[in-house]
Amino acid sequence: MRIKDAINMIIWKYPDKLHDYVVIIKDRLADKGLKEIYFNEIERVDNYYLYLKGNEDIVIPLHRVLMIRRKSDNATIWKRGD
């Protein structure tokens, strides 16, 4: 499954539980090089970028997305390379 499809599936299938899902990205400015973005912060996704709500200037290239995780049970929903 492509990352775009995995993100859209969660947005459309679990709209009331978006706070329980995070996208983990590579971030050069973060302490450990990783950053979590909650799904309720995501405005939309296209073939190349993830757009965050409230600020069109925050655009994350999809090649930086490493995994999608459900916080409640720490389950990995999608992981790069799988």
DSSP 10-23: HHHH-GGGGGGEEE
Cα distance between residue 11 and residue 44, in whole Å: 9
Looking up tokens 């409230």, which residue turns up?
54
pLDDT tens readout for residues 12-33: 999 999 999 999 999 877 677 8
Regarding predicted confidence, which is higher, 31 or 4?
Answer: 4
Question: At residue 82, does pLDDT exceed 90?
Answer: no
Give the SS3 label for residue 6.
Answer: helix
